[in-house]
Amino acid sequence: MAGAFVGFGELLIRLSAPGRSLLMQTPALDVHVGGAEANVAVGLARLGHATKMVSAVPDNALAAGAVAQLRASGVDTGGIITRPGRMGLYFLSPGAGMRASEVVYDRAGSSFATTPAASFDWPRLLAGASRLHLSGITPALGPETEAAAIAAAEAATALGVPLSFDGNFRGQLWAARGVDPRPILARLVSHADILFGNHRDVALLLDREFAGTGNARHRAAAEAAFAAFPRLRIIASTARDAQDADRHSLSARIDRRDHHVETEAMLVSGIVDRIGAGDAFAAGVLHGLAHGTPGEAARIGLALACLKHTLPGDASLFTQRDIDAFLAGTVDVRR
């Protein structure tokens, strides 16, 4: 990626129950900065890419701290504006054993969710950009963010800036909004050349199910998506088998119009934090595509996703050296 990667979405603060406790079980919460698009920007910045975040936050200490964390990771925060409102929050109760993790959102009325689409000057923000990255979370927040995401996608197309889109379906947010997500998401995907999503995301977009299992079903969904969205050239996805909160099996695949590549499944054990693993995968794939083949991109994306499971917080902070060591099978102390 010769120019800057641009992410557009809400910058969030995550409040997690410490250890494996439940929310409100103890009088303490761990604080992390997150947001799907920001996580991808941080992941790519740590891998040496120029990245920029576009968002809206309030003028207060919470927002200043969140923006400072992005800046410390190497992300250009010049596209983040201040607006009336509040920071979006979410609360996490981490899973343990056979108990799944649980998320509680507190983002209604946030500065980002209420910022008019016209507040973002896309010709300026996308000047010299190599890629714009959006996710399905942004339009789920409300009509203002839906309009802003569509304006961003349309501007990218008009300016010749490639768009990647991560489905990131959030049922709680869409249910709270009370609208059908399908036509909104399909309109955004119609501008994308890269889609991060699996057969379930495609089923939602196209309002149809795909028969079979495994490779046949994934390929059928990919071919249907390519037929429906002419600009689309790559679909990247992961498959996860969660045995319990501490042991997951993870594999990756990349579909193109004429073929696909798929990795072997990798066992991820001793999981510290799985939040943000999908964003780490997206960063790894984009990094890999900039330097190699789709097969290499799938391997790098899977490596970064696996590494993210070892790190508290939302974003991947790993470097190319960490990826190389992981792919080489190095687990002993590096001295």
Give me the active site residues, please: 279
* 3-state SS class at 233: coil
How far apart CA 57 and CA 81 sit, in angstroms, is 6
For 297, the token pair is 């991109």
> Are the CB atoms for 315 and 42 separated by under 8 Å?
yes
**Would you say how long the chain is, in residues?**
335
Give which of 217, 6, 13 is closest to 123, Cα–Cα: 6
CA 69 to chain centre: 18
Which secondary structure element, helix H or strand E, spans residue 103, and what is its range? strand 102-106
Torsion of CA 218, 135, 226, 214, to 10 degrees: 0
